[in-house]
Amino acid sequence: MSDSPNTPFRVAALQMVSTPDRERNLAEAGRLIEEAAGDGARLVLLPEYFCFMGHKDSDKLAIREPYGDGPIQRFLAEAALKHDVWIIGGTLPLLVPDPAAGENRVLNTTLVFDPRGEEVARYDKIHLFNFEKGAESFDEARTIRPGTEVRTFEAPFGRVGLSVCYDLRFPELYRRMGDCALMVVPSAFTYTTGRAHWQILLRARAIENQCYVLAAAQGGEHENGRRTWGHSMLIDPWGEVMDVRDEGPGVVAGEIEAERIASVRASLPAWRHRVLDCG
């Protein structure tokens, strides 16, 4: 199959309802990757925490892996090779390489593997979610060390920008990615914040950057009692939702087309009208 940037390139986002059982989650992710690849997807995005949703935030410390080795990383590499697809591995907990005294946190990390099963990119989530409303209370900084670097990688159809969940609320991050054909957002948005802002923010990032946005979400009632919003979707450069899944496990998919990006940017040339530097 041609890898020309002008050839339509099928991508897919997986929606999951992950559990406190790592092996069960990996089996479910494998099933959905196979389904997406069987439908022609050549790039597959997994959701944040696809591998584990514990009963409490600190539970993920028990399955953290050193960078470069571990069952979750091997699963992603082997799945990419087996199905001949690019895999963007949602997030997994990695060991902090140089913990401060008394620190007991992880990096919430996205790893990208090419169809040969080789890692080609890594992104450590920068913005850490903090939310208080009624009985809902979240503070990711207690168990996650933030990343510091904006990351992209080159796919056959163009540049792909990496972000995770709460990053979605910070448009300056996406500007720093530069000229992307696709921006991805693996997420585990809460039901409350997702219902209020999820689609609005995703469409805004697509419209502002005049590129495709692919979002893979956790979506449903989890065994730990948490409810996530779901609504995994693919959005085109005009801000139109091409495919969406409300709740429950499944696959969202569609085609990335360079001609669509060029057409939107030609008719409304906001991309080249930018004058302020976000760097």
Catalytic residues: 48, 125, 165
Instruction: Quote the CA–CA distance of 226 and 57 in Å, as a whole number.
Output: 11
Instruction: Quote the CA–CA distance of 85 and 139 in Å, as a whole number.
Output: 34
What's the 3-state SS for the chain? CCCCCCCCEEEEEEEECCCCCHHHHHHHHHHHHHHHHHCCCCEEECCCCCCCCCCCHHHHHHHCECCCCCHHHHHHHHHHHHHCCEEECCCEEEECCCCCCCCCCEEEEEEEECCCCCEEEEEECCCCCEEEECCEEEEHHHCECCCCCCCEEEECCEEEEECCHHHHHCHHHHHHCCCCCEEEEEECCEHHHHHHHHHHHHHHHHHHHCCEEEEEEEEEECCCCCEEECCEEEECCCCCEEEEECCCCEEEEEEECHHHHHHHHHHCCHHHHCCCCCC
CA separation, residue 240 to residues 109, 118, 212, 216, 270 (Å): 29, 33, 10, 17, 17
